[in-house]
Amino acid sequence: MTKFEVTTLNEFILKSQMNYPQAQGGFSHLLHHVGIAAKIVNREVNKAGLVDILGEVGNTNVQGESQKKLDVFANDHFINAIHNCGEVCAIASEENESFIFFDDEMSRNGKYVFLMDPLDGSSNIDVNVSIGTIFSIYRRISPIGEKATMEDFLQPGTAQIAAGYVLYGSSTMMVYTTGRGVTGFTLDPSIGEFCLSHRRMETPEDGRIYSINEGNYKKFPKGVKKYIKYCQVRDEKSDRPYTSRYIGSLVADFHRNLIKGGIFIYPETESAPLGKLRLLYECNPIAFLAEQAGGKASNGFEPIMKIKPTSLHQRVPFYTGSKKMVELVECLLQEHTNGKTVDLPYKMENQQ
């Protein structure tokens, strides 16, 4: 008889906990609840075309963007699941202007704060294209037993103790890190469990995919324009031109590039000098995953995770993916911004 070995997310979490003899299980309990919320949201995403859940709910979120019904559903269910686990004292979400403090005794004693974009890629919800949930976990700074403070949330990404995403794609995956590499789990709908499918995810040092919304080309910084040209130039030695792939869902674009090697760029533009993506619950968690997989994440000038946040919904330019690709675009940006001449590993004269 063939022997099948399946490790579920919960088994994996419990086994990992054994590496920390002093652990009391609170953090494992929290990750378990993230898995529960992901399954609930997955169920709704999967039947989204069947029920009256598509479309806009009529509200606008703090960024003035219209909220979709599924955004609201995902937000409510993640907040409930994270609250119910009792390990988190407060939660911040893309969909809520301020952080939410859980005012019951158990949560007040919670050691962690949780940040999330409950349903990222919202423009893809109504058209059956991959979307995701992104989350980030920190140990609180404020004293246990007291009210959480903004300082608990405004910690640099380097202080994250875990981060991950759920990708609602052709299959549903949960990918996370606790700072010891990146692990991926695929949901087996027949048993309703996330099963270990990607044991140690490492991204190629270099890649051939570039992901950027080129519709905004005219407004890009010069360094980014030059990088795009570089990606398009024919050069047999470096196997260029590269391939352009852009879904418009950060989780899906990042996940593909993580596996295949590539770069994701959402730069600053003339009209949006800080870019579009949010530091705390989009860029920091993705940066933590990228670095743990051997890649890089930068705002073009410094590592994303070193930025000291100043507000909950702060935006940053975002460059992430294969190390060599991110380093090259950083060189080009710095060359144009600081007037710093950089020795580039290629010649642009051949471009046509």
- Contacting residues toward Mg ion, per CB under 5 A: 117, 120
Minimum distance from residue 36 beta carbon to ligand AHM (Å): 23
Among 17, 80, 158, 213, binds ligand AHM (CB under 6 A): 213
Among Mg ion, ligand AHM, none, partner that 65 touches (CB below 5 to 8 angstroms by kind)? ligand AHM
- Closest residue to Mg ion, judged by C-beta, is 120
286 class by beta-carbon count within 10 Å (0-12 exposed, 13-18 middle, 19+ buried): buried
Among 87, 117, 152, 291, binds ligand AHM (CB under 6 A): 117
CB nearer Mg ion, residue 120 or residue 330:
120
Among Mg ion, ligand AHM, none, partner that 213 touches (CB below 5 to 8 angstroms by kind)? ligand AHM
- Whether 128 contacts 120, CB under 8 Å: no
Among 46, 59, 123, 171, binds ligand AHM (CB under 6 A): 123
Strands (E), the chain: 56-60, 66-68, 88-93, 100-101, 112-120, 131-139, 160-168, 172-177, 182-188, 193-198, 209-211, 243-244, 262-266, 296-298, 318-321
| Count of residues that bind ligand AHM according to CB under 6 A | 13
Site string for ligand AHM, 139-158 (x = CB under 6 A): --------------------
CB nearer ligand AHM, residue 93 or residue 178:
93
Q: What is the DSSP letter of 87?
A: -
CB nearer Mg ion, residue 120 or residue 193:
120
CB nearer ligand AHM, residue 80 or residue 213:
213
Residue 69's identity, in one-letter code, is: K
Query: Tokens standing for 306?
Result: 């070193």
- Cα–Cα distances (Å) from 16 to 13, 23, 229, 235, 239, in that order, read 5, 10, 45, 45, 40
Considering only residues 299 to 328 of the shown chain, the ones binding ligand AHM according to CB under 6 A are none
- Going 279 to 165 to 296 to 348, the CA torsion angle's sign is negative
Alpha-carbon distance 288 to 296, whole Å? 9
Q: Cis bond leading into 241, ω under 30°?
A: yes
- Strands 172-177 and 160-168, by their bridges, are antiparallel
Q: Which stretch binds ligand AHM (CB under 6 A): 22-30, 231-239, 243-251, 300-308?
A: 243-251
Minimum distance from residue 120 beta carbon to ligand AHM (Å): 5
CB nearer ligand AHM, residue 183 or residue 249:
249
Minimum distance from residue 345 beta carbon to Mg ion (Å): 33
CB nearer ligand AHM, residue 132 or residue 207:
132
CB nearer ligand AHM, residue 149 or residue 216:
216
CB nearer Mg ion, residue 120 or residue 152:
120
Site string for ligand AHM, 247-286 (x = CB under 6 A): -xxx---------------x---------x----------
In three-state secondary structure terms, 62 is coil
Minimum distance from residue 265 beta carbon to ligand AHM (Å): 10
DSSP-assigned beta bridge partners for residue 184: 175, 198
Among 86, 110, 121, 184, binds ligand AHM (CB under 6 A): 121
For 300, other C-beta atoms within 10 Å of its C-beta total: 23
Minimum distance from residue 346 beta carbon to ligand AHM (Å): 27
Q: What are phi and psi of 193, to 5 degrees?
A: -130, 145
List, in order, residues 6 or more apart from 232 with CB less than 8 Å away. 240, 241, 242, 351
Point out which residues bind ligand AHM (CB under 6 A).
65, 94, 117, 120-123, 213, 248-250, 266, 276
